[in-house]
A and B are shown apart, each in its own frame.
Chain A
């Protein structure tokens, strides 16, 4: 009888189980996935959402140009447990800030997993370049890693006064994942933090190769005869037209999502959008570096000093048209050679690739990867690299593009498992 009751109960419960069953990640096209991410309805729901605090570090006496006065302090966010706990630093991807959508989400994930969380902007984000970078130049991984390490040291010192920290871990997505790997390698030698877990989310293998891919989508190869300027003007017309005829009152994320799904963008459009978004970040980074260094790249020496009141549209136009290849050849390499005449192009590129620390990664169990097999910033050889080097420690999902499935419950579960004690 008991068994029968249990069986009936089970049958009664089944339909509700079935409806609560998790839906798989919806997008097979990696470019669509990269742009649209995880639809709000399918996202992982946090039991007890936390509101992170925004804090800042100010380097005394730093010569911040007046035009960037608002960016004098390096901002970061924290979500601290009210009991003793390990602390995890998370590092944002290219051009992203400590409290961008993805970073807020990751902050919640690791907070829910029981960590004190410190979220840091990418060293390629304007605020980091202006307020914290030693050289004022971003995109060279060894410099970026030194800067991150220094900043993390200050933050640790400050937070140790407020909460009990039982150990340190590290995570990052996209370029931030690459930074995390190099930080962990560096820490292996200095033993400053003694990181226990290092989670790389959708890392590039080689910064240079990945960025070249993004850049290629704004060239003839993807666009054919039309220019990227015309393409973007075209997008603005299509978006405007949609808005004119849509029944909306609020321009929120839902609206943007509906719009992008409704106006039937094809793969070429998605590639263009990803490439253009990357360009907007890199333009910000390049202009910020140029002004901090007064290197005369975008701003002629006669235009200085730039003030709060100075119009900047002319520089923005120029900056958007600079590919990473150009930046590398015209700004970054010359700067590195100016600092160290023995610097070579191949040496610089090598030091910005996981291949450089391949042997160490292969034999270090604490470093793990969570990513996707169809990540748009990776080529087939890169995916093979991750699989061979990390073996069982590479947790690759079939679909999701670049960080598109990050908010999907299956991905979140993987992340939490990877950092569980």
Chain B
């Protein structure tokens, strides 16, 4: 399929998704007994929160904007339920898995450059060399990155470095926890880092466009963004409110923060 067909096709899928009003099919029922009306029942024993409790201190994360973050988390969950998740599901249902893994590999291959660049910025030359070799191998023998041949070599596992980690590596603290619109859990440093990675990617794409002689790259950029979005969602196992816990926000906040802390040390 040519890129032009792709660029026409994918926005169409997205529009269809939104218009079909996706999300689960809901059936309305009535039950006067189940209105959850106040009962007046009160327990005699309480387990109310304690000020300055020192249990579970490790769960605490610097989150001064918590009320705003929690609202953003809910907005993201709703968007995900009605737009991103249905789009990803349609993508999985209608696009054969060979094509999907091709798309996934192609995008992952483009992402090798920011990883290599960030590895250099951290002075981790071995990591940089691995990412760069992967890019070279997959871009050539892997048919422009559609096939991930490099991963067959045990010495060339995919690396994961981003600008947030680079900033962390140079001692910049995480700053307050921050739920990014659409993208979800982050913190001030990593959100800034995300901007940095976008710039690196933008530079990379511009070079690719120049090298291939493409003049009007705006439709391609849009397509690139949409495909990246759908690909990312289709390959992310997490779904909102699937923990079955009212404390999901707290769990996600803790796990994200802990994982980033470890990723920077790795």
Binding site for B on A (CB under 8 A): 51, 53-64, 67-71, 73, 75, 95-97, 99, 121, 125-127, 132-134, 136, 150, 154, 158, 229, 233, 236, 240, 243-244, 247, 249, 251-252, 280-281, 283-284, 287-288, 291-300, 308-322, 326, 330-331, 334-335, 338
Nearest first, the 10 A-B pairs at minimum CB distance are: A314-B49, A309-B67, A330-B45, A316-B247, A318-B47, A63-B36, A297-B43, A284-B245, A56-B26, A54-B24
CB pair A240–B31 under 8 Å, yes or no, is: no
Say if the beta carbon of B35 comes within 8 Å of chain A. Answer: yes
Min Cβ gap A136→B in Å is 6
Within 8 A of A (CB), among B120-138: none
Residues of B within 8 A of A318 (CB): 47-50
Q: Which residues of B contact A315 (CB under 8 A)?
A: 49, 247
On whether the beta carbons of B46 and A310 are closer than 8 Å, the reply is no
A/B interface sample: 24 pairs, CB < 8 A: A51-B93, A58-B29, A59-B29, A60-B29, A73-B26, A75-B24, A97-B242, A97-B244, A126-B245, A284-B247, A294-B38, A297-B47, A300-B48, A311-B66, A311-B67, A313-B250, A314-B49, A314-B50, A316-B56, A316-B59, A316-B247, A317-B56, A318-B47, A330-B45
4 extra interface residue pairs, beta carbon distance < 8 Å, beyond A53-B24, A295-B41, A297-B43: A73-B24, A133-B34, A236-B58, A284-B247
Evaluate whether A309 and B60 lie within 8 angstroms (CB atoms) in the complex, with A126-B245, A338-B41 already known. Answer: no
Q: Mark B72-102, 1 if CB is under 8 A from A, else 0.
A: 0010011000000000000001000000000
- With the chains together, A330 CA to B159 CA distance in Å? 52
Which of A132, A233, A288, A294 has a CB less than 8 Å from the CB of B246? Answer: A288
User: Are A60 and B266 in contact (CB-based, < 8 A)?
Assistant: no
**Cα of A96 to Cα of B242 in the assembled complex, Å:** 10
B31 contacts across to A, CB distance below 8 A: 59, 134, 150
Contacts of A281 in B (CB 8 A): 244
Partner of A64, one of B30, B36, B259: B36
B181 nearest CB across to chain A (Å): 15
Cross-chain contact B39 with A338 (CB below 8 angstroms): yes
Residue of A nearest to B160 (CB): A249
Query: For residue A297, which residues in chain B have a CB less than 8 angstroms away from its CB?
Result: 43, 45-47
Q: How far is the CA of A315 from the CA of B245 in the complex (A)?
A: 12
- Minimum CB–CB distance from A159 to chain B (whole Å) comes to 10
Any chain A CB within 8 A of the CB of B216?
Answer: no
Supposing A67-B246, A252-B237, A300-B46 touch, asked if A308 and B24 sit within 8 A by C-beta, the answer is: no
Which residue from chain A places its CB closest to the CB of B249 in the assembled complex? A312
Residue of B nearest to A297 (CB): B43
Q: Does B37 contact A (CB under 8 A)?
A: yes
**Known contacts A58-B27, A60-B28, A70-B77: A126-B49 contact under CB 8 Å:** no
In the complex, which residues of chain A have a beta carbon less than 8 angstroms from the beta carbon of B49? 298, 314-315, 317-318
Interface of B (DSSP majority class): loop
Q: Which residues of chain A are near B27, meaning CB under 8 Å?
A: 55-58, 154, 158
Interface size class of B (residues with CB under 8 A): 35 or more
The smallest C-beta distance from B200 to any residue of chain A, in angstroms, reads 19
Complex: chain B residue closest to A312, CB-CB: B247
Contacts of A63 in B (CB 8 A): 35-37
B2 — which chain A residues lie within 8 A by C-beta? none
Nearest chain B CB to A174 CB, angstrom units:
15
Most buried by B among A243, A292, A309: A309
Whether B68 pairs with A62 at a CB distance below 8 angstroms is no
Cβ contacts B211-252/A at 8 Å (1 or 0 each):
000000000000000000000000001001110111101100
A63 and B38 CA atoms in complex are apart in Å by 9
B71 within 8 A of A: yes
Residues of chain B within 8 A of A61, CB atoms compared: 30, 35
User: Which residues of the other chain, A, contact B53 by a CB distance below 8 angstroms?
Assistant: 314, 317
Q: Do A55 and B48 touch (CB < 8 A)? A: no
Interface contact A56-B24, CB-CB below 8 Å: yes
In the bound complex, residues from chain A placing their C-beta under 8 Å from that of B41 are: 293, 295, 334-335, 338
Residues of A within 8 A of B246 (CB): 67-68, 126, 284, 287-288, 291, 312
List the B side residues contacting A132 at CB < 8 Å: 34
Q: How far is the CA of A244 from the CA of B262 in the complex (A)?
A: 6
Which chain A residues lie closer than 8 Å to B259 at the CB level?
A: 243, 251
Query: Are B25 and A53 closer than 8 Å at their CB atoms?
Result: yes
- Specify which chain B residues have a CB less than 8 angstroms from the CB of A293 in the assembled complex: 39, 41
